[in-house]
Amino acid sequence: MKKILSIIIITCIALSTCALCSCKSAEENIVGTWTNQTTVFGVVTENSYTFNEDGTGKSTTVLGVGLGFDYTIDGDMLTLKYSVFGIEASTKNYTFKISGDKLTLNDGDETVTYTKKDS
């Protein structure tokens, strides 16, 4: 009986370890394009963030203007360093959460939720 119980416990530990290892990290989950629609003066506009695997990305604004950035993730903190013509222009810090196909960003003043675009 003790032998069977030992085998069951070892199997449970092994399966738990495998399950934890297969979880994607925040860096892997954030990769892709995330969009948000807002209504400004009755006109629906779309903003988006595209995060690449190499730590770079692009923010596209309502007018379709894109700004490149480098990003880092530390726990639940997302830092975007925007650059213009290769020169760092500004840094934006967010707390973030990914739940399914939703990315929620909070900069301390505002919380905005983005939806992941289908690949």
The predicted-structure confidence for 36-86, as pLDDT tens digits, reads as follows 998 878 888 899 999 999 999 999 987 778 899 999 999 999 999 998 888
At position 51, the amino acid (one-letter code) is F
Both tokens of 53, joined, read: 């695997």
User: pLDDT value at position 63?
Assistant: 77
To the nearest whole number, what is the mean pLDDT of the chain?
A: 83
The SS3 call for residue 3 is helix
User: pLDDT value at position 113?
Assistant: 97
* CATH match of 25-116 with 3.40.640.10: no
Instruction: Provide the β-strand partners of residue 66.
Output: 60
Spatial contact of 32 and 116, defined as CB atoms under 8 Å apart:
yes
